[in-house]
Structure 1
Amino acid sequence: MAAVELQALLRFLSQDAKVPLATALSKVKELQQANLATPEKLAKVKATEITTMFPDEKMAKVIIAAAKRLTKKRAAGDDSAPSPKKRKKESLVSDDAPTSPADLEASVALPTSTASEAELATMKIFSNRAPLFLAFTVTLLKHTMPEQPLTSRLSLAQAFISTSSRSRAVSLGIQTLERADLEAEERLAMGQPSVMVLGKEIKILRRWGYEWKESGGTGREGVEGSVLDGDQKVGAELLDTGDGNVDGGGQTAAEEQPALWALDLEALRKSNKSDITLANAKAGNNSSLPIYTPQSARAYLLKSFDTPSDGKTLKTSAGARAAVKEQNLGCLLQALDLLYDSWAMALSPVELDKRTWGWYVKVRPEVEQGVAGWGGKNEIRLADILALRRQP
């Protein structure tokens, strides 16, 4: 199979059909031998005809359904337009938009842990690399941008992870991105201010009127005021520095910086105005520009940290598994807090930013190189994170 065809098949299986990449890679040869290496060919068979390759009947049905859906979209000349049913479903969630900063911040609170250091040191969690780096980034921003509320830190961290993952996927050939698309995003970003997160420029929106701190104080417990004043416009976001940039390392006084959203340039390029408005309303963003929502970042974190299998086959309920993952996330964030707190007095925000990649590399799960390791999972030892702390 040609490299282009292989990449196209892997993209279909992993992205459209949601098949784990490791499984997809192991089935490519069988699909080729059965002359079923394209969505168009898969769309013409029944799920029962591929159960020899995909014994999980549910997975087989999902693959065939995805193939039919993608084939139909391609025939209509549209690979991305949401269905009327999906639009109707999205319209039903717009009433869930938070009504105050207090509601919004409370809705994205992350789990905490009261485990002792000794207990943390014995823990192992099971995940892939991207959510781990997201947890690192969210924790880092508590120190490099302490003036920002949690909603902003989640948005900025998700922007960094999403854009970095996209670049990595493009370099591996898993995802394609035309030069025209990049140029379009660059044009859309013109005039927007930015912040630097881990050396990457993140375009932002300033959340005018968002008062989340206690009146006259710096605490995070109380908030007041409206969620947004709805006055965000492209080209009108320049800061006092005059160059449109906000220094994430603290060159601009914290009290001069409003809360921020990370601008989603890819969504702005792809989506129509109604899609953007619905997604923004749920996130508490009243502007007409799409953002990386804190809800999506939080949901990704909550679902990503499982407990390594002990070889037993006991089934647990979805609720029980979700509770375990939430507890694991709380412990991971506690370990990361201990790491960053230990260095906070010795390193500047800029230095913490520079150290983060090296710390992450030392503890990230071991996976195969290249395409084979994309999305791969393995153990993460919290003891390795604790070992990175500054010694007294």
Structure 2
Amino acid sequence: MSAATDLQTLLRFLTQDAKIPLATALSHVKALQAAQLNTIDSIAKAKPEAIKQIFSDEKLSKQVHNAAKRVSKKRAAGDDGAATASSPKKKRSERSVFSLKEEQTPAEIEASLALPRCELEAEELKDVVLFTNRAPLVLAFVVVLLKFSMPEQPLSSRLSLAQAYVSVTSRARAVSLGIESGESAEELGMGLGQASVTIMGKELRVLKRWGYEWEDGKDSQRARTETNEEGEQPVEESPPLWGLDLEALKRSRTEPPPLAKAQSASTTNMPIHTPQAARMYLMKSFDNPPPKDAGSAKKQSTGSKAAEKERNLGMLLRAVELLYESWSQTLSLEELDGRTWGWYVKARPAVQDGVAGWGGKNEVRLADILALRREE
């Protein structure tokens, strides 16, 4: 097999059998290849510790390991079709990507999703260099964009919508390179009739979260209302949204539920991009550049490494926020949205072209982001 074919097979396993988002799969491919865990059988035979070193999240590493063992076992039994097809007999609760914990209030949910803050000024950030791949950087840009373009949305919604955008763009790119094939969920008609929003030129299907009220520390709404022209009853406006994960719906081999059912307050009928997954992806994706002399690197504890990445994320978000703040009083919301991709392109890490660059990491200089600010 060619390297490109091996990569396609590995990605197909991660997204279809292990059921992890494409963006997450792409960010771990290089590490799996470096550890010579680039086949289903090699992953199945690996020790759990080896998988966990690559997928730092224990739940995710078990999910990948168990999927590899399951597929490998079915292959050995002669069930070739099971290698790439998921069982349609999943329980409804397993198909549901996210459900709110009953014991948590909306305010507690939003607080649990808080992203790291940084109070440094531009001059203190300009020498910071991070090490990451492209997908989490796109995610960070979109999360900050939505803070300005959709301020009425809670953080949980902004994370979900941003991840939905990254998923759609990642799949489109994968198809163009031959990594993914077949019709997308949208092309198959899934999500028709659902509400949608357009972010950076992409139409994303959404689920309205009617009745979800939260607090952001200054005011407590939050299903905004306004009075109509006649001064009659208030009309609810801009409810919180979930970004729908239509590719997960396609993989589950279920038909989209009726519109009325999908628009209800329940989130159990339609899979969404969870804010927790998006936040976790951001929290673990921004490392320090590797030392030039690999032998001089000191081994860090898991806690120390996680704290370092959290600080790095805080600095990155601060730099991106400073960029948007500099333009927010000059550009319209539509113009901010329209310029975001170009800003990201000028700051993204340089990687190899084509398939070889998928999941590749390189340096991101905060000075490049800060240089995009509007001149005073």
Match of 2:330 in 1: 346
* Alpha-carbon displacement from aligned partner over 1:142-185 (angstroms, at most 9, x marks no partner): 11111111111111111000111111112222223x2385543x
Q: What CA distance in whole angstroms lies between the structure 2 residues aligned with 1:132 and 1:286?
A: 28
Q: Could you tell me whether the CA contact under 8 Å between 2:10 and 2:40 is conserved in 1?
A: no
The answer to whether structure 1 residue 163 and structure 2 residue 147 are counterparts is no
Q: What CA distance in whole angstroms lies between the structure 1 residues aligned with 2:52 and 2:327?
A: 51
The answer to whether structure 1 residue 126 and structure 2 residue 99 are counterparts is no
Task: Report the CA distance shift for 1:119/1:82 in structure 2 as closer, same or farther (over 3 A).
Answer: farther
- 1:353 is paired with a residue of what secondary structure? helix
Q: What CA distance in whole angstroms lies between the structure 2 residues aligned with 1:257 and 1:58?
A: 42
Task: Report the CA distance shift for 1:67/1:192 in structure 2 as closer, same or farther (over 3 A).
Answer: closer
Matches within 5 A, 1:103-114: 103-114=108-119
Task: Report the CA distance shift for 1:26/1:146 in structure 2 as closer, same or farther (over 3 A).
Answer: closer
- 1:109 is paired with a residue of what secondary structure? coil
Matched residue pairs, number? 331
- 2:364 is paired with a residue of what secondary structure? strand
Matches within 5 A, 1:53-202: 67-73=68-74, 75=79, 77-78=81-82, 79-81=85-87, 96-97=101-102, 99-176=104-181, 178-179=182-183, 182-184=186-188, 186=189, 188-202=190-204
Q: Could you tell me whether the CA contact under 8 Å between 2:196 and 2:204 is conserved in 1?
A: yes
Task: Report the CA distance shift for 1:255/1:135 in structure 2 as closer, same or farther (over 3 A).
Answer: farther
Report the residue type matching 1:374 in the other structure: W
The answer to whether structure 1 residue 290 and structure 2 residue 271 are counterparts is yes
Unaligned runs of at least 5 residues, structure 2: 19-24, 55-61, 229-234, 258-264
Q: Could you tell me whether the CA contact under 8 Å between 2:12 and 2:180 is conserved in 1?
A: no
Q: Could you tell me whether the CA contact under 8 Å between 1:12 and 1:39 is conserved in 2?
A: no
Match of 1:382 in 2: 366
- 2:239 is paired with a residue of what secondary structure? coil
Query: How far is 1:69 from its partner?
Result: 2.7
* Alpha-carbon displacement from aligned partner over 1:111-134 (angstroms, at most 9, x marks no partner): 100223222111011100000011
* Alpha-carbon displacement from aligned partner over 1:178-210 (angstroms, at most 9, x marks no partner): 2385543x2x31111111000000111111112
- Specify which of 308, 317, 324 is matched with residue 324 of structure 1: 308
Match of 1:304 in 2: 285
* Bigger Cα displacement from structure 2, 359-368 vs 312-321: 312-321
Q: Percent identity?
A: 50
Report the residue type matching 1:121 in the other structure: K
Report the residue type matching 2:183 in the other structure: R
Q: Could you tell me whether the CA contact under 8 Å between 1:13 and 1:24 is conserved in 2?
A: no
Task: Report the CA distance shift for 1:109/1:24 in structure 2 as closer, same or farther (over 3 A).
Answer: closer
So what's the TM-score if we normalise by structure 2?
A: 0.74
* Bigger Cα displacement from structure 2, 69-78 vs 158-167: 69-78
Query: How far is 1:81 from its partner?
Result: 3.8
Match of 1:208 in 2: 210
Match of 2:357 in 1: 373
Task: Report the CA distance shift for 1:192/1:121 in structure 2 as closer, same or farther (over 3 A).
Answer: same
Q: What CA distance in whole angstroms lies between the structure 2 residues aligned with 1:66 and 1:107?
A: 29
Aligned Cα root-mean-square deviation (Å): 4.1
- Specify which of 257, 263, 275 is matched with residue 244 of structure 2: 263
- 2:206 is paired with a residue of what secondary structure? strand
Query: How far is 1:13 from its partner?
Result: 7.9
So what's the TM-score if we normalise by structure 1?
A: 0.71
Unaligned runs of at least 5 residues, structure 1: 32-36, 49-54, 214-218, 227-239, 241-253, 277-283
